[in-house]
Structure 1
Amino acid sequence: MTQDLRLTIAAELERTRARTALLTDAVDDTDLIRQHSPLMSPLVWDLAHVGNQEELWLVRDVGGRDPVRQDIDELYDAFKHARRDRPALPLLDPGQARAYVAQVRQKALDVLDRVRFEPDRRLVDNGFAFGMIVQHEQQHDETMLSTHQLRAGSPVLTAPAPPPSAAPVTGEVLIPGGRFVMGTDTDPWALDNERPAHTVDVPAFRIDAAPVTNAQYLAFIDAGGYDDPRWWSPRGWEHRNNAGLQAPLHWIRDPGGWLYRRFGRVEPVRGDEPVVHVCWFEAEAYAAWAGKRLPTEAEWEKAARWDPATGRSRRFPWGDDPPGPEHANLGQRHLAPAPVGAYPGGASPLGVHQLIGDVWEWVSSGFEAYPGFAAFPYREYSEVFFGGDYRVLRGGSFGTDRAACRGTFRNWDHPIRRQIFSGFRCAKDVA
């Protein structure tokens, strides 16, 4: 069993690093050190940062080894330097960054070969620290993919188109009221904000069977939704005016219809794709215009995990098996959300589709601790963000890896952010 776990961890580390290499090798050194948006770090910062976190946790903490580059810890501490300021730091250049992460990886693999997965040492029980590092690097890979989307210039990333719709998916699904178990105590690589499992009583509600599509969102635009303060909260209307919002990020108004710039390619907006690159305020305004609202975080998770036949909470909408290509659009396998109805094998028992993958889904809830929360292994992953001006996103996107996505996984960001692969679906009360 221990050897199987070692092999699994080694494979996940290798698979993750291959994605990091793809994202950083796709551009030249000039692009690696350039800041493509003040919202994002230079790609070379992300590259060295994932190596530094791997060194801190696996080489030093788990392995007890001497530091590889203790002198750069402060440069790659995300809490000490805002993204907009990072290009001015004396960062490792691309060659140095690649050499550094390779050296750290060799030491981490040596630690993996020797570590004992002791149940009474929580950091290594079930390989937790290794799983945390895999998830951390995959999260930065998705961040780097967002940077690629903001990058100007000719396309450098390629991927096959997502599968077509297999069946029409429309309307709403009734989720019966009652109690369900939210969060987890059993997922070995779940992070601290997903814990502990706790029972929540959720009144009956209706939720969209699929994410809001471009065609549906275009109807909101055509109806003057961006120009009518009735649909916007006061803060949302203020942001809409200050930021000059008129459409989702990367949409281009054209006499022949709306276009979308995606990873350097300009193409017509597809009506059957989930809308992406909208902020929380835009999602809130659309929901009000449609006579609905955003689901709460508990409602979203109940729709995604609750099995009405058994009353238990599953790991994913389709069950406990890890995501396969038949279930969800994850892992940068495609460079776009899939059309609604493309993954019938990933639907929940009640018929809610595409809850996992395609687009992160804004919910109405702020980012708060679950009852009984305990920070582990460090406060800065979750605890310092609780109670701030954040809104939760659930479900992952086409750029989220399967290692960093499950029915309990929680993401969060400021309500004005839309450079992330964010969309939404609506809900409403049952009278």
Structure 2
Amino acid sequence: MTTDSQPLLTARFVALCLCGVFYFVALGLVYPVLPGFVENDLGGGPVAVGLAVGGFGLSAAISRPIFGPLGDSKGRRYVVVLGCVLVGLGILGNLWATSVAVAVLFRLLTGLGEAAFFVGIAAAAQDMAPEHRRGEAISYFSVTIYTGLAGGPLIGEQLAESVSTDAVWVTGGALSAIATVLGAASIHGRPDDAPTGWPTSFIHWPATRPALLLGFGLMGYSGFLAFIELHVVDIGFDRSGVVFATFAVIIISMRILLARLPDRLGPQRTSTMSYLCSISGLWILAIWPQVPGVFIGTVFLAMGQTFLFPALFVMAVQTAPANKRSQAIGTFTIAFDLAMGLGGLVMGAVVGLASLSWAFFFGGSLSLVGLVVSRTLVRPQPGAFV
């Protein structure tokens, strides 16, 4: 079979994506519910909200260098199943959260699960993809993330309003269990050429360059996730689930219809377009605190986030052989964790010192820094990645 005729959308790949759908819906349930839970039920302020929402990214960043090599040595299935179990326990743990500290601890446990799951499933998706369709594969796979972001918040918001917040936590645990079964069924066990023992370095240093670019591009998005619910309440809209859904539907549509764009344009041009749209979206949210501004800003931010991760992810994967792929992905996605964790925390501090509008403006400015870095200090080696 030639590389041009190798299929991508096999039964195993589809099952893998379904695993991602259930997992990310479980995570998405939490976003519209956790900020209000921390602020109203537990008495936390803006910084506490940012830490509770984004804290999982901090524990994921710390543990990612361990789960990366573990995914290479034990196999992708091992870390995917482990991640689903930990995330399920982390979400269910909110049933017993009686203080901000306890909620943050369970959020940190969720971060450990996120680190294990994402390293494993992202590497498995690349293992199943033909060489010339890696960008397309991660575009399709990443659709599962935003399917979760579209459906999860709507389901979570409805459950919290019609039943209780406890129903949200229980549902998240159940969905994580389904993802566990799908992950175990779709991913092969330990490969024959898997490395043994621990690597000499837990960091795959060539992957740090695309990781740096990813971090700048995601911090504003992290603040969007943490504070858009409070922002829409402030302007009198009170339907953050619709905003999350709008964001996700745009990304899902563009990643399906334009799945091969990152492969065709290369990471440099693709990431430049992404940064420009993200800057525009966050700054529109900052200067237009009305319902039309929320939706227009969300549309631009969604366009910005559509291809940033796929383009830079492929750049990172190309730096490693197959039996070190999880390690490269683990290194690369540390930036994802740090951005998601620190973005909410830092922008929460800006909210506390100034306002939500200034926080969104600050997030857009971070994307501007990323754009400048990508065009000057961090350039791909000739012929290496494009």
TM-score by length of 1: 0.24
Greater Cα radius of gyration, structure 1 or 2: 1
More helix by share: 2
TM-score by length of 2: 0.26
More strand by share: 1
